[in-house]
A and B are shown apart, each in its own frame.
Chain A
């Protein structure tokens, strides 16, 4: 009995000494990272965080999904006002102007420099970098998950109308959709007209055609920018989409109606869709057995001198008010994400594109784009780098852009429901959007974008 007791005491003593020794072996610095991805994508982020934590002993990142981009920003603002903000937060593309004026961040380039990391910012694809940089080119946040819109086309359906290539111009799209309709296809093309689709219908279209969305170079040159999508080529585009919708060449597909665009395409119901390259993996995983499909760059009107499409997705912001130790960890984490190997892991598992040239080259070198499920994703890079970004294709810098997108959805619905004409709808979009911009400007009197 006493032997057992002694043995237990020895074990207990041993345990205690081990437990006491642990803190001495450098407790890692913990810091928070909040992000807006969920489901499958959130699991990939979690794995990435785990990989980072296992790669070194000094820091431990605690990654928490906030559900979606909107909620992430809302929760971060609430936390910031209460002084409990995370060190790093993922903010979607259109939140950039709001973030820039928040005064609540630590510039990413400064953070990296202070902590001894040399990042070659020229390595980022220019279309991606400029979205998140100041007008002087300083990187305030780190591009993270990036994408752009592509046209997904069903090769079998196009074969039926004697085509082996995706249409390159919108004129061709009209003719091809009609031919498919004549060949008996119920839904030649699917679109959605919700607020979020502003991204590919209004923003991508405008960039590719080098058409402004707002004055002052899409807002880069001042908070007094105002919308002008009611007098650009965009009017023609909406007119054509509406015409094709009325002729039954386009169907509206959304989750609310039972089946979203991606499902409609993957199931073979609809033959053409335009959506993010981020959906490439989903289509591949859920497609109808034996269906042949491919992706192509979004079409442009005949005679257009094609420009780069816009980046979508989100970037990572480092918030102000954290300790130096946490900033050290945040810098190490951003450096880890910047690594081409992490880019390969990230892109393989999500469909998002690598954000740096070195990441892209590394993936090409690994033969990534030659493999079956990933083939075609390089089209997104081609689209993003189709040209050197112009003053208006480098991005959009408008305050409260979420509300403007909501207004876009509202007016598109009014147009497609025949409540207003195309011109009336877009005029209202501009009028209401300007009021939103006006309000943003009033909220930040005397301030200018960095």
Chain B
């Protein structure tokens, strides 16, 4: 036995390149389309960008001040692995008040390094290689690569502009096999701005129940809805114990750089995620956590002010695209519009490239977000009214020129 192994080592082919050391799951990940487009944009000057997936607001001063004060007091050590008790307490209170999703801070809430880490932990805790992970698309670009890294098989479910990019029970049911295990939901949606209501969720919840799925519900844009209050999947009858609710501070509180998020769910699931978390990152940054307490307990008014501003810009952008003659469904959440450029006869990618070169506006081609994204453009309206007005002007000019042939 030992002898055989020695033989194997001696005869093993020598690795030719550094890349040969890499695990296939990493090798197989394609560079993200967003990254490619990013490189292209960076070669240009005088560009107005609608490509930014983060608020243009600076974290409200009182929140920044809370972090500064924590530093002045010398609060610079690790916190408990699951996060500061005061922060978990605040998250529990906040979720219950805002979305009627009660969680016990003691064992059902885990503070993470951004919503990003929470998604990663959830998938790593759940995936057995070969499991199928169901993902309504177009969607946030990370779900599928993280699934693949964990040995899971991402299965896209196409959603359509005519349905306001809502997930339907039929399309979900259609992709389910005995290997289906996890459904990843992201409403309000990046990149479409689609939302789901209580009535929309009901048939989905039934399919989830019938097929014994676990749901990772990324609700990081929950605060950013315009008109309809966000309905958490975890608040649906019978769904709480099947759902890992993921959220964070990046979008609602303009805190992307703080790297602060959280996951909530059944104590057994949270305990499993905590295991990975404690061995990989120990805990989220302490000063960010102090800022988080301030944001949740005294930051709701500032948040409302920002949501109001996004709503105004949303109206401007949707009207702008329609006036230009590009079809644009009404986004009801997040801060993205997802107009169709099909009328121009160009692919998303070509349209985005030419718009960049000839119009000086950067927006992300929809195909990078998966099934159903082709033919669309993701335009973030997290930028000033004057920037938006100028961008719409330029896009209008560009489309007009295209039509002239």
- A and B held together in a complex: no
